[in-house]
Chains A and B, each alone.
Chain A
Amino acid sequence: MGLGEVVAAVLFWVSAVVAIVAGALVFRVDSMARATYALAVSFVAVGVAVLTLRQDFIGLVTILMMIMEMAIMAVFMVSYMGMNPALMPMDMTHAKRPSAAIAGGVFVLLAAAALLIPWPLVPARVPSDLIVRIGEALMGSKMLVMLTVSPVLFVTIVAGIVLTSPRGRYDRFGDRLRERPRDPEGGGVGR
């Protein structure tokens, strides 16, 4: 075992512990901001753990996406959570018994899967096109489904925004799109 592998192993276990502790803190702290950023720390630790497994892209993108997501989520959590406006200290748990039961059940299920599934042993020499092979093994037979589903999902998102937007294009510019909009705040392009 070389020095690099020892460092990677230590880093893996440290980040695994950090991920679990930070994840538990999400429910122990009494502020929305702290809960959100405890979750962010947990996800960053998961990303670091993935990096130690030499999955660089997935690890970095996990960190990137989760920090961005938590930065935005903090705004929504503070705005919409709870009866008070989440600027006061508050309890982060609700429906305690069902939540504990579900969490325990999922943990047992995942842990059993991790221990009981006969995982393939890593070959001594990792093939250079590992990512391509994983991608094809995971997605190869399902690409047609994904290619069909993703436009449908995208159209649903766009349609949802169009339907819920209180001021769309025709509200702002009139039926012939020729009027000058009366926006509460002018945009930067001068329309």
Chain B
Amino acid sequence: MPLPATPPHPGGTTMAEFAPLLVAVLIPLVVPALGFIAAGADAALRSRALGAPARVGWARPGRETLRLLRQQRRSVLGADALLWRTGGVGLAVAAFLLVLVVPVGETPAADLPLGIIWFTTIDVALWALWWLLGWGPNGAFSLIGGYRFLAQALAYELPLMFALLAPAVAAGSLRVADIVSAQREVWFVVSTPAAALVYLLSVAAFSAWGPFSAASGRDLAGGVLAELSGLDRLLVLGGRWCVLVAGAAFAVPLFLGGGGGPLLPAAVWVIVKTLLVLAVLIALGRGVPVILPQRLAEVGWVILVPLTLLQILIVAVAAAVGRA
């Protein structure tokens, strides 16, 4: 890991040295917990829409978890279990690695000088994970789902990379903490709105969620999810919520001023803002129908790539003028 050299403390070890370790230990607990809340809210909205009381929906993630834990794993003939399980376990791991560079309050678990590149690296690993999930079970619908995700990735990845660059250019740094401190006066969601919008859409896209869930579409009998059962299914469904939470959490230092806010401590503000971004993502998932990847490609390359490039141009000129 590219950990920066820590300056020596003259007074021996302090509590501050253990703070990153503490944050790292809390990540695998807090991220799934937020995922549970988000899954419950989504299910509550769905049960309200179906005419059932909302509490049925809120209880659904817990009941579904218990059900899948007890369910016997269905085996598939000719499945490549190694690659399949790698894809399943990898989603949650990728989510935790993404959150590693999010500053909770003052302290990220890992204060990487190249935090933005780190994020991009992990989000590209999601390409491999979703495709492996499609390939693993030796099923036609799953395989088509995996290919659909890659086709979708070609549409969203470049706009996402440019959208990530806009805050970095505005702050003049790839370190996430520097991007947070550059937003003391104006949040980047205000000064770079196009990048924030593209980032939000891309989070839904790399999580194969909502309008971008063609890879697990109902027209494919579940696509990449089709053959999953028991613990494997739990890991993938839970992992997808974790990836959504991680994407929402990373939006906070990028565009929403990090832990900045009145009264409450910074760590609480990070979680509150993460939940707000998740609420927007859930509303997006409930309000917009699934879009097929072949339609997304043109939107991504004809509209979003020029839009994000224009955004970077404006930001770069503003930064150059500001520094001059």
Interface of A with B (CB < 8 Å)?
4, 31, 33-34, 37, 40, 51, 54, 56-57, 59-61, 63-64, 67-68, 70-72, 74-75, 185-189, 191
Question: Smallest CB-CB separation from B3: which chain A residue?
Answer: A4
| A188 B117 Cβ-Cβ under 8 A | no
**B residues 275-316 with Cβ under 8 Å of A?**
291, 294-299, 302-303
| A188 B2 Cβ-Cβ under 8 A | no
A-B CB contact pairs (8 Å), 5 listed? A4-B5, A37-B83, A75-B131, A75-B150, A186-B295
Which of A4, A37, A40, A188 contacts B295, CB < 8 Å?
A188
Give every chain A residue within 8 A of B153 (Cβ-Cβ).
71
Known: A37-B83, A75-B150, A188-B295. A60 touches B117 (CB 8 A): yes
Which of B2, B118, B132, B297 contacts A54, CB < 8 Å?
B2
- Asked if B29 CB lies within 8 Å of chain A CBs, one says no
Question: With A and B bound together, what is the CA distance between A185 and B135 in angstroms?
Answer: 25
Known: A54-B2, A75-B150. A67 touches B297 (CB 8 A): no
Which of B118, B150, B298, B302 contacts A71, CB < 8 Å?
B150
* Interface of B, helix, strand, loop or mixed by DSSP: helix
B97-140 Cβ-contact flags toward A at 8 Å (1 or 0): 00000000000000011100110110011011001100100000
Known: A185-B294, A189-B303. A56 touches B124 (CB 8 A): no
Question: With A and B bound together, what is the CA distance between A188 and B295 in angstroms?
Answer: 4
Question: With A and B bound together, what is the CA distance between A60 and B114 in angstroms?
Answer: 9
| A71 B291 Cβ-Cβ under 8 A | no
Contacts A60-B117, A64-B117 aside, 7 further interface pairs with beta carbons under 8 A come to A4-B5, A33-B135, A51-B1, A64-B121, A64-B124, A185-B294, A188-B291
Q: How far is the CB of A50 from chain B (nearest CB, A)?
A: 10
Give every chain B residue within 8 A of A187 (Cβ-Cβ).
294-295, 297-298, 302
Question: Smallest CB-CB separation from B151: which chain A residue?
Answer: A75
Give every chain B residue within 8 A of A33 (Cβ-Cβ).
80, 83, 132, 135
Give every chain A residue within 8 A of B3 (Cβ-Cβ).
4
Q: How far is the CB of B129 from chain A (nearest CB, A)?
A: 9
Question: Smallest CB-CB separation from B6: which chain A residue?
Answer: A4
Interface of B with A (CB < 8 Å)?
1-3, 5, 80, 82-83, 86, 112-114, 117-118, 120-121, 124-125, 127-128, 131-132, 135, 147, 150, 153, 157, 291, 294-299, 302-303
| A188 B131 Cβ-Cβ under 8 A | no
In the complex, number of A-B residue pairs with CB atoms less than 8 Å apart: 77
Known: A33-B83, A75-B150, A188-B291. A68 touches B127 (CB 8 A): yes
Question: With A and B bound together, what is the CA distance between A57 and B115 in angstroms?
Answer: 10
Interchain residue pairs A-B with the least CB separation, the first 4: A187-B298, A188-B295, A56-B2, A188-B299
Give every chain B residue within 8 A of A72 (Cβ-Cβ).
150
| B125 A67 Cβ-Cβ under 8 A | yes
Q: Which has the most chain B C-beta neighbours within 10 Å: A31, A60, A188?
A: A188
Give every chain B residue within 8 A of A191 (Cβ-Cβ).
298
| B114 A40 Cβ-Cβ under 8 A | no
| B120 A64 Cβ-Cβ under 8 A | yes
Known: A31-B80, A68-B124, A71-B127. A57 touches B114 (CB 8 A): yes
Give every chain B residue within 8 A of A31 (Cβ-Cβ).
80
Which of A34, A56, A64, A189 contacts B83, CB < 8 Å?
A34
Give every chain A residue within 8 A of B127 (Cβ-Cβ).
67-68, 71
Question: With A and B bound together, what is the CA distance between A186 and B117 in angstroms?
Answer: 34
Question: With A and B bound together, what is the CA distance between A59 and B114 in angstroms?
Answer: 11
Give every chain B residue within 8 A of A74 (Cβ-Cβ).
131, 135
| A60 B299 Cβ-Cβ under 8 A | no
Question: With A and B bound together, what is the CA distance between A46 and B294 in angstroms?
Answer: 35
| B297 A37 Cβ-Cβ under 8 A | no
Which of B80, B118, B128 contacts A70, CB < 8 Å?
B128
Question: With A and B bound together, what is the CA distance between A72 and B149 in angstroms?
Answer: 11
Which of A57, A67, A75 contacts B147, CB < 8 Å?
A75
Question: Smallest CB-CB separation from B154: which chain A residue?
Answer: A72
Question: With A and B bound together, what is the CA distance between A191 and B297 in angstroms?
Answer: 13
Give every chain A residue within 8 A of B121 (Cβ-Cβ).
60-61, 63-64, 67
Give every chain B residue within 8 A of A40 (Cβ-Cβ).
128
Give every chain A residue within 8 A of B297 (Cβ-Cβ).
187-188
Question: With A and B bound together, what is the CA distance between A61 and B118 in angstroms?
Answer: 9
